[in-house]
């Protein structure tokens, strides 16, 4: 028997009303992500990438279609998602373009907070936060506030925070957009490592063609639809 995918989005649509017309932000998209898989979502601005992540991450319900996590139907058209708040926090880690760290907390306090919300005792949370930061090469930065960190370091703290509850699914929306090419590649390499070592399923919206070789699969959206999908790392032709 093969295990159910960590994430399975089936025929998801999301329609927004805009004045008299309807915007089809997403128009029948299906996506499966297995344990240990790192999947890239590509597509022009406005193609529905963020909408797909919101639906996959149980932050918004689809207008049509459904979302399964490890085979269990958790979200479908017309159903409110408020009841899934705890489930989401325990199972899904989010990373956004901006790190959005709390400025008056240190790096390790920012990461620990994600666990304390889930009733992990403060001392255990702090110890685990420091371990996570050390694992991401930020052990020496654990006691620093965000303003003392570079953009790449802040983004790694945000990734540590996303990992705090050991999620099976990680969703990242343009996490490298604010970083230079080398730092951006380090962040994607980190996701690759997390997929390989923890078996998390990871979906990353990215514009950066230079790191596509690190992904298992690439899905391309246009106008809310999948227009291309390739398995295996994308090989960038040598110049
Ligand atoms: N809350 C919303 N209300 C109305 N239209 C929206 C909303 N969110 C997204 N859209 C529209 O849906 C389309 C897809 O948006 P989005 O998923 O943010 O695209 P991307 O992340 O690929 O840039 C765009 O045309 C956008 O304007
Ligand atoms: Mg977007």
Rounded distance between C-alpha atoms, residue 100 and residue 114, angstroms: 13
Q: Measured from the CA of 47, which atom of ligand 1 is nearest?
A: 22
Count CA atoms within 13 Å of residue 142 on its CB side.
Answer: 18
Domain ranges of the chain: 7-231
pLDDT digits (tens, 9 = 90+) for 138-169: 999 999 999 999 999 999 999 999 999 999 99
Structure tokens at 185: 């590649």
Would the CB of 34 count as within 6 Å of ligand 1? no
51 alpha carbon – ligand 1 mean position (Å): 6
Q: Probe ligand 1: pick from 14, 27, 48, 221, max atoms within 8 Å of CB?
A: 48
Summarize pLDDT for 77-130 with one digit per residue, the tens. 988 898 999 899 889 999 998 999 999 999 999 999 989 988 889 999 999 999
Distance, in Å, from the CA atom of 84 to the CA atom of 57, rounded to the nearest integer, reads 10
Q: Distance, CA 174 to ligand 1 centroid (Å)?
A: 15
Distance CA 72, CA 151 (A): 37
Residue nearest ligand 1's atom 5 by CA: 16
State in words which class domain 7-231 has: alpha beta
Q: Are 37 and 201 in contact (CB under 8 A)?
A: yes
């Amino acid at each position: 028997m093969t295990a159910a995918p960590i994430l399975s989005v089936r025929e998801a649509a999301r329609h927004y009303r805009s004045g008299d017309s309807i915007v089809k932000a997403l128009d029948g998209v299906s996506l499966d992500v297995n344990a240990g898989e790192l999947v890239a979502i590509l597509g022009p601005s406005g193609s529905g990438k963020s909408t797909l992540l919101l639906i996959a991450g149980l932050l918004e319900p689809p207008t049509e279609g459904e979302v399964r996590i490890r085979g269990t139907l958790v979200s479908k058209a017309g159903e409110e998602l408020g009841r899934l708040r705890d489930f989401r926090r325990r199972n899904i880690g989010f990373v956004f373009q901006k790190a959005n760290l709390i400025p008056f907390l240190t790096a390790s306090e920012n990461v620990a907070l994600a666990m304390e919300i889930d009733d992990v005792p403060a001392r255990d949370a702090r110890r685990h936060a420091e371990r996570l930061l050390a694992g991401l090469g930020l052990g020496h930065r654990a006691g620093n506030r965000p303003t003392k960190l570079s953009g790449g370091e802040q983004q790694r703290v945000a990734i540590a925070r996303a990992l705090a509850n050991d999620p099976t699914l990680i969703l990242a929306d343009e996490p490298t957009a604010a970083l230079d090419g080398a730092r951006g590649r380090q962040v994607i390499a980190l996701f690759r490592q997390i997929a390989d070592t923890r078996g998390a399923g990871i979906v990353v919206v990215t514009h950066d063609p230079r790191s596509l070789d690190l992904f298992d699969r690439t899905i391309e959206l246009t106008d809310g639809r999948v227009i291309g999908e390739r398995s295996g790392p994308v090989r960038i032709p040598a110049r």
